[in-house]
Structure 1
Amino acid sequence: MIAPLGVILAGGRATRMGGGDKGRLMLGGRSILDHVIDRFAPQVPDMALNANGDPDRFADLRLPVIPDSLADHPGPLAGVLAGLDWAATKGATHIVTVAADTPFFPADLVPQLLLAAEAQGHPIALAATPDPERGIARHPTFGLWPVALRDDLRDALKDGTRKVVAWTDRHGTALAAFPVDRGDPFFNVNTPEDLDTARGMA
């Protein structure tokens, strides 16, 4: 397998934060996006930012900005599709996605997703953590996705599929389990209260 390219998903509307770009919020003197990029860059050979609206607002990041190809913000799967289409132009076979509002994700995310996909024999792999109520919690914006499934995903989105796991379960999904003994590595910033918590974690 060619090393997967990285795609940061930042296409959401951030309604619970009052709108705007959550990744631009400050955490420890730097933006959340800066933390995400620094954590992701050593794990992938190249990366892009999935975001809608004026791409010039991200010019300082020096990353390709790829918008959703479908209208009306149909959710994270649209960002995955945009990433897969971008990766196809680069000759890549896979992408790994991360969320733009999750600054503490594992520094070994990509190799663990690759190992899980190979060991469990599935084309897609998602990050997961232990959950006291459900047993395991999947983190569907943190995944390994094959470019070969991009047309299938496009058709699913056009047919109305919106939930990530509703699509991934059709194809078989490996799970890469990560520990939470030092806190939830997939803690994401959705509200002002979450931002306060993240600042304490940082």
Structure 2
Amino acid sequence: MKQPLGVILAGGQATRMGGGDKGRLALGGNTILQHVIDRLEPQVAGMALNANGDPARFADLELPVIPDSLAEFPGPLAGVLAGLDWAAEQGADAIVTAAADTPFFPCDLVPQLLLASEASPHPLALAASGKPGGKLWRQPTFGLWPVALREDLRAALEAGLRKVVIWTDKHDAGQAAFVQSGIDPFFNVNTPEDLEEARRIAGEME
């Protein structure tokens, strides 16, 4: 399979941060979103940003901006579908998604997802994380998604599906496990308190 394309999911409304593009908030001398871009870019063949509203506000990033194709913010799967439609236009086989508010995700996310998908009938896998010996929690915004299943996903969304794992379980998705050693690699910024914690973590990583 060709190296997947990357899609950063920034289509949420950030209500707990007071709205706006929380990925643009400052973190460690840059922005949260730029940290995500810098981690994902070396792992994929190309990237796009899934975001709704005026795409001109992201012009400085020099990335394609793809909006949800379904109305009323139906959740991250709508961003996945938008990414798959974009990837199909590029002739790609699959995409890897990453959330725009999760600046410390693993630098080996893509190779681990590819390995996890090998036992699945499709290149489909979700990341999962947890503490050593503890329960693993799936990370539904960090996944490998096959272009071949985009019409199946579109039909599921149009029928009202919103929960990611219901759809991925239906298709026997693999699971890439990331055991925490220190910080949670999938720590995401949802609240002002989270932002302060992210800034503390970023300071320790410098």
Q: Which runs of 5+ in 2 are unaligned?
A: none
Equivalent-residue separation in structure 2 for 1:187 and 1:113 (angstroms)? 18
Verify the 8 A CA contact 1:122 1:174 in the aligned structure 2.
no
In the alignment, what sits opposite 1:115?
A: 115
Determine whether 1:11 maps to 2:11.
Answer: yes
Equivalent-residue separation in structure 2 for 1:138 and 1:93 (angstroms)? 23
Determine whether 1:91 maps to 2:91.
Answer: yes
In the alignment, what sits opposite 1:176?
A: 176
Equivalent-residue separation in structure 2 for 1:174 and 1:23 (angstroms)? 28
Within a 5 Å distance, the mapping from 1:58-69 to structure 2 comes to 58-69=58-69
Comparing 125-134 with 79-88, greater Cα deviation is found at: 125-134
- Letter of the aligned partner of 1:179 in structure 2? V
Verify the 8 A CA contact 1:36 1:100 in the aligned structure 2.
yes
Equivalent-residue separation in structure 2 for 1:132 and 1:12 (angstroms)? 31
In the alignment, what sits opposite 1:154?
A: 154
Aligned pairs, number: 201
**TM-score (ref. length: structure 2):** 0.95
Q: Which ranges of 4 or more aligned residues in structure 1 deviate by more than 3 Å?
A: 131-134
Tell me the CA shift for residue 45 of structure 1: 1.2
**TM-score (ref. length: structure 1):** 0.97
Determine whether 1:72 maps to 2:72.
Answer: yes
Equivalent-residue separation in structure 2 for 1:71 and 1:132 (angstroms)? 40
- RMSD over aligned Cα atoms: 1.3
In the alignment, what sits opposite 1:144?
A: 144
Tell me the CA shift for residue 121 of structure 1: 2.6
Q: Secondary structure at the match of 1:60?
A: helix
* Deviation digits for residues 85-135 of structure 1 (CA, Å, limit 9, x no counterpart): 0000000000000000000000000001001111x3342101111268972
Determine whether 1:198 maps to 2:198.
Answer: yes
Q: Secondary structure at the match of 1:3?
A: coil
* Deviation digits for residues 131-151 of structure 1 (CA, Å, limit 9, x no counterpart): 689721000100000000000
